[in-house]
Amino acid sequence: MQPQVLIEARALSKRFGDLIAVDGIDFEVVQGECFGLLGPNGAGKTSTIRMICCVSPVTSGSLRVLGMDPAHEARTIKARLGVVPQDDNLDSDLSAFENLRAYARYFDIDATTAKQRAAEVLDLMALTDKADAKIDQLSGGMKRRLVVARALMSQPELLVLDEPTTGLDPQARQLFWRKLRQLKRDGMTMLLTTHYMEEAAQLCDRVIIMDESHIIARGTPRDLIADVIGREVVEVHFEEGRHREALAGVRSLANGFEVEETEDVIYIFERDGQHAESLDLRGLEAIGSEVVLRKASLEDVFLRLTGRELIE
Amino acid sequence: MMALTDIDVSYRTLKVWRRNADVFQRLWRAEILWPVIEPLIVILGVGLGLGRFVELESGEDYIVFLTPGVMAAFAMWAAIAEGAWASYNRMAWQKTYDAMIATPVSIDDVITGEITWAASRGVLSTCFLVIITVALTPVWGLVDSPLVVLAIPTAFLLGFMFGSMALLATSLVTSVSQLGYFVSLIVIPMFWVGGVFFPPEELSRGMQIFAWFLPLSHAVNLQRGWVTGDVALSMLVDLIWILIVTAILYRTVLWSMRRRLIK
């Protein structure tokens, strides 16, 4: 049996006047998976998410969410989505519990059920003892988990998370990921945007990478790493001013490898049939101040495809 | 531009109203004092203090003349304070609107709920003023008719109109300080020449025409009718003008807020 398609985008585009935010992208999200939408800031991730959440009209192309058209069935779609926005748009005038209760009301959930579900989702997100806390008494990580708890109040079929861990410290992020993995195990379908590649690697079954409003790569994190980068990467760090000679040295030793340079690091990537282990590491050490052999990561894929330059 | 009939409002607008009522219930002690004290200061301070130097052609005491105007004006202020600063805060800082439109609540539900809440603040203000002025009537004869109770539903209509106006301003500004332009260029002139402090007959011909178009002038006429019991057919004209202005403002604010939030 084919898995059920929850989101289907075909030649989906979004324009704001002359600015093309999303330019004819195709993808689908199937039931039970965690699907990652990756890309640098301004790539078109949030515009895509906003169209899916029915708060931004589609300019052209087609978009089906839970089998429905956002232009005509926004209320029905929104009733079945759980949305975790980029900003903590919690109601700071209300307590944690009251936030959940007010939100439940928007979904026509009656008071008794709301109370019961609030207890469940607070427990799931490890926030039970914060039920009566005011929003500004919560830490950044707690606020983010409360936003997820809020999104779960309506028992959604699909959870949409827009850069959910931006601004969290590593501990809070780890806990947050653990909670999302738990949801995933329970069968929740998730669509996640992020620019943290570790987050995508930890959580996502499949990802697409967007850049300048297009999709530039897609696949499982593992396949993308293998296809774009290989298994391992060697980094040669060198001192300032030795750029030219370091590069020349690396080129001669890493003949046939893919070499990429930045101001203070040279990266050596594997090509078909080559292995980083076969490189003369001692020779490289003589060139640079530090040489690192490490496993390739999704971050390498991302930087390789979207460029190392700062995009502003 | 949306078609005139394209308004997506459902019963969920009441849930938006309810959210604001819940917050008010939490904070009412802090919020209730000034809206209650300020109109009282105006009625007593201006009505009695300044009133000693004022002789009206109609022969009534100045404080009696002032009472219905203050009722209308403070229903306006209550709705405008809510629809301007409080709503701007919810829209721009707390992102409450964004949170709500991610649910089955539509943007039109949100805005209508916000306006209805602003109108409720107007009602609250007028309720209080009716109680106080009736209580003070044995002393200064402020209220002449039991019809004064009709000032309360009228305040809802006025609050809806001025709330729509304030939310329209909110939908257009990019910072909270810009709301000051709306208040100083539109609300305050209306407050001074809208028939609250002196009868419009005292104005020059040109200003009288200008004042006629101000929605507050008609709001004052309606409240004056209920407070004095002098119900005239001209109040129907006042009501119709208020309904026309309300319909235009309400339709425009829905369009403007959609433009701002559903991009």
pLDDT digit string, tens, across residues A169-217: 899 899 999 999 999 999 999 999 998 899 999 999 999 999 999 999 9
Residues 6+ apart with CB under 8 A from B94: A89, A91, A92, A93
* Contact check, Cβ <8 Å, A91/B102: no
Measured CA to CA, the distance from residue B108 to residue B116 in angstroms comes to 12
The pLDDT of B52-57, averaged and rounded, is 89
* Contact check, Cβ <8 Å, B103/A85: no
Measured CA to CA, the distance from residue B263 to residue B260 in angstroms comes to 7
CB atoms within 10 A of CB B23: 21
Q: Does pLDDT of B70 surpass 60?
A: yes
* Contact check, Cβ <8 Å, B104/A75: yes
Measured CA to CA, the distance from residue A159 to residue B156 in angstroms comes to 40
Q: What integer pLDDT is reported at residue B1 of this predicted model?
A: 45
**Residue B5's pLDDT band (cuts 50, 70, 90):** low
Give the residue among B213, B256, B259 at the shortest CA–CA distance from B237: B213
What the block records as the tokens of B185 is 């260029």
Q: Does pLDDT of B256 surpass 50?
A: yes
Q: Is residue B57 helix, strand or coil?
A: coil
Of B12, B99, B262, the CB nearest to A89: B99
Tell me, what DSSP letter sits at residue B195? S
State pLDDT tens for residues B123-163: 999 999 999 999 999 999 999 999 999 999 999 999 999 99
What the block records as the tokens of A301 is 């894929």
With CA atoms as reference, the chain B residue closest to A83 would be B102
Measured CA to CA, the distance from residue A31 to residue A188 in angstroms comes to 8
Q: What integer pLDDT is reported at residue B3 of this predicted model?
A: 57
Which chain A residues are Cβ-neighbours of B104 within 8 angstroms?
Answer: 75-76, 78-79, 106-108
Q: Is residue B70 helix, strand or coil?
A: helix
What the block records as the tokens of A194 is 């992020």
Give B100 to chain A, closest Cα distance, Å.
Answer: 7
Q: What integer pLDDT is reported at residue A247 of this predicted model?
A: 86
Convert chain A into a string of H (helix), E (strand) and C (coil). Answer: CCCCEEEEEEEEEEEECCEEEEEEEEEEEECCCEEEEECCCCCCHHHHHHHHCCCCCCCEEEEEECCECCCCCHHHHHHHEEEECCCCCCCCCCEHHHHHHHHHHHCCCCHHHHHHHHHHHHHHCCCHHHCCCEHHHCCHHHHHHHHHHHHHCCCCCEEEEECCCCCCCHHHHHHHHHHHHHHHHCCCEEEEEECCHHHHHHHCCEEEEEECCEEEEEECHHHHHHHHCCCEEEEEECCCCCHHHHHHHHHHHCCCCEEEECCCEEEEECCCCCCHHHCCHHHHHHHCCEEEEEECCHHHHHHHHHCCCCCC
What the block records as the tokens of A265 is 């690091």
Least confidently predicted of A120-124, A167-171, B186-190, B209-213: A167-171
pTM: 0.92
Q: What integer pLDDT is reported at residue A147 of this predicted model?
A: 96
What the block records as the tokens of A252 is 């001669």
For a pLDDT cut of 70, what percent of chain A falls above it? 98
The amino acid at A25:
I
For a pLDDT cut of 90, what percent of chain B falls above it? 88
B198: Cα separation from own chain's centroid: 19
* Contact check, Cβ <8 Å, B23/A93: yes
Tell me, what DSSP letter sits at residue B94? S
Measured CA to CA, the distance from residue A198 to residue A36 in angstroms comes to 12
**More confident call, A11 vs A246:** A11
Find out whether B119 and B156 touch, Cβ atoms under 8 Å: yes
A-B CB pairs within 8 A amount to 69
* Contact check, Cβ <8 Å, B26/A93: yes
Of B26, B95, B103, the CB nearest to A106: B103
Of B95, B98, B103, the CB nearest to A78: B103
Which residues span the domain enclosing B215? 4-261
Of A56, A81, A93, the CB nearest to B262: A56
Q: How many domains does chain B divide into?
A: 1
**Residue A157's pLDDT band (cuts 50, 70, 90):** very high
Q: What integer pLDDT is reported at residue B191 of this predicted model?
A: 96
**Residue A248's pLDDT band (cuts 50, 70, 90):** confident
Which chain A residues are Cβ-neighbours of B94 within 8 angstroms?
Answer: 89, 91-93
The amino acid at A203:
L
Measured CA to CA, the distance from residue A21 to residue A161 in angstroms comes to 19
Of A79, A106, A154, the CB nearest to B100: A106
**More confident call, B200 vs A118:** A118
Q: Does pLDDT of B207 surpass 80?
A: yes
Of A57, A76, A91, the CB nearest to B94: A91
Q: Does pLDDT of A249 surpass 90?
A: no
Find out whether A36 and A24 touch, Cβ atoms under 8 Å: no
* Contact check, Cβ <8 Å, B100/A90: no
Q: Does pLDDT of A220 surpass 90?
A: yes
State pLDDT tens for residues A30-67: 999 999 999 988 899 999 999 999 999 999 999 999 99
With an 8 Å Cβ cutoff, the interface of chain B facing chain A consists of 10, 12, 15, 18-19, 22-23, 26-27, 94-96, 98-106, 261-263
Q: Which of A55, A90, A106 to mutate to test the interface with B (most CBs of B within 10 A)?
A: A106
Q: What integer pLDDT is reported at residue B262 of this predicted model?
A: 92
Backbone angles phi, psi at A28, to 5 degrees: -140, 150
Find out whether A35 and A206 touch, Cβ atoms under 8 Å: yes
The pLDDT of B16-40, averaged and rounded, is 89
* Contact check, Cβ <8 Å, A102/B263: no
* Contact check, Cβ <8 Å, B261/A55: yes
Q: Does pLDDT of A73 surpass 50?
A: yes
Q: What integer pLDDT is reported at residue A49 of this predicted model?
A: 96
